[in-house]
């Protein structure tokens, strides 16, 4: 559930990638499921289009490329990638596998900062930079379930660090990265996101919320020092301590990503 703030973001790929992905969906390259014109109409209508296959239908490849271009920069594009790599489509294709085709896609998508990864029986899209974030989320879950509450607190901090590093890298050409000081890193990100509580145009109620975010950061830093496995443990944390740290970290991470995406969509911020 907490990979939401990674997977729900809008997806934008290059024009070159649009053209190649259209070819793959049409099934022109060897090893890909071939889609007739009527199949392509059905495929893209599932993503919200209302096309009808009749006379004057364009070249299959061109039709697919135009539809991918129309979805580029929209959340629905990730659904196209998931559907085009449905492993069941390869059951009757002798000598070719969905794994090989996923590799072909990733050779192109990596230049756009994305990759397709196996998720159970199917595939899903994720940002390359988001892999570290997903890893920390999974580790938090596993360590709480396994009773490693100190380790969960360490990973909760690492999650926030990874998110802040990602946001700073997206917005600041002179990003300093992770220098080990979570408080300083968060303060830099807070300014980049226009969340500095010293701003005069921010209401008192919002300032209280922002102060709460700072308290989460300070608390995570203190918990890591006193209760995590990164230093000599002063006292052993309990499950509820670990859950508090992890859930606070997840909420903060989600809020920071949502804030960045909202301000980018409104024109208040631009990725570098």
Q: Which of 149, 151, 141 is nearest to 238 (CA)?
A: 149
Whole-angstrom distance, CA of residue 272 vs CA of residue 121: 36
| The three-state (H, E, C) secondary structure of 90-144, written as one string | HCCCCCCCHHHHHHHHHHHHHHHCEEEEEECCEEEEEECCHHHHHHHHHHHHHHH
d(CA 61, CA 89): 18
**CA-wise closest residue to 244 among 213, 222, 216:** 216
Task: Note down pLDDT in tens along the chain; length 272 residues.
Answer: 344 444 445 678 999 999 999 999 999 999 999 999 999 999 999 999 999 998 889 999 999 999 999 999 888 999 999 999 999 999 989 899 999 999 999 999 988 888 899 989 999 988 776 677 778 888 899 999 999 998 998 899 888 988 898 889 888 888 887 777 888 999 999 999 988 877 778 788 887 887 888 888 888 767 655 554 555 555 678 899 899 989 988 888 888 888 888 888 788 887 76
Length of the chain: 272
Question: Closest Cα partner for 157 from 134, 132, 182, 176?
Answer: 182
- How far apart are alpha carbons 136 and 236 in whole angstroms? 21
- Per-residue pLDDT, 128: 75
Architecture of domain 131-266: Up-down Bundle (1.20)
In this prediction, residue 1 carries a pLDDT of 39
Question: What is the reported pLDDT for 232?
Answer: 53
pLDDT number for residue 2: 43
Domain limits of the chain? 4-128, 131-266
Q: What is the pLDDT of residue 22?
A: 97
Q: Which residue shows structure tokens 């900062």?
A: 113
CA–CA separation, 10 and 125 (whole Å)? 11
- Which residues are registered as beta bridge partners of 114? 127
Residue at token pair 């090893």: 31
**What pTM value is reported for the model?**
0.59
């Amino acid at each position: 559930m907490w990979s939401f703030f990674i997977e729900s973001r809008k997806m934008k790929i290059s024009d070159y990638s649009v053209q190649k992905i259209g070819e793959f969906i049409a099934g022109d390259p060897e090893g890909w499921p071939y889609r007739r014109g009527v199949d392509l109409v059905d495929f893209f209508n599932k993503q919200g289009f209302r096309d009808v296959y009749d006379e004057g239908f364009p070249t299959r490849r061109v039709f697919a490329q135009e539809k991918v271009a129309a979805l580029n920069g929209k959340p629905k594009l990730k659904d196209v990638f998931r559907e085009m790599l449905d492993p069941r489509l390869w059951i009757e294709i002798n000598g070719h596998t969905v794994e090989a085709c996923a590799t072909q896609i990733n050779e192109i998508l990596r230049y756009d900062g994305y990759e397709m990864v196996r998720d159970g029986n199917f595939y899903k899209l994720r940002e390359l930079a988001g892999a570290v974030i997903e890893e920390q989320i999974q580790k938090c879950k596993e360590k709480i379930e396994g009773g490693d509450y100190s380790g969960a607190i360490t990973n909760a901090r690492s999650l926030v660090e990874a998110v802040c590093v990602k946001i700073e890298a997206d917005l600041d050409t002179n990003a300093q990265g992770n220098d080990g000081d979570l408080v300083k890193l968060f303060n830099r990100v807070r300014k980049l996101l226009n969340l500095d509580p010293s701003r005069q145009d921010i209401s008192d109620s919002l300032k209280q919320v922002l102060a709460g975010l700072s308290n989460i950061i300070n608390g995570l830093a203190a918990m890591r020092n006193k209760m995590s496995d990164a230093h000599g443990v002063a006292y052993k944390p309990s499950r509820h301590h670990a859950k508090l740290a992890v859930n606070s970290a997840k909420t903060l991470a989600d809020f920071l990503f949502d804030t960045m995406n909202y301000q980018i969509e409104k024109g208040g911020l631009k990725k570098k």
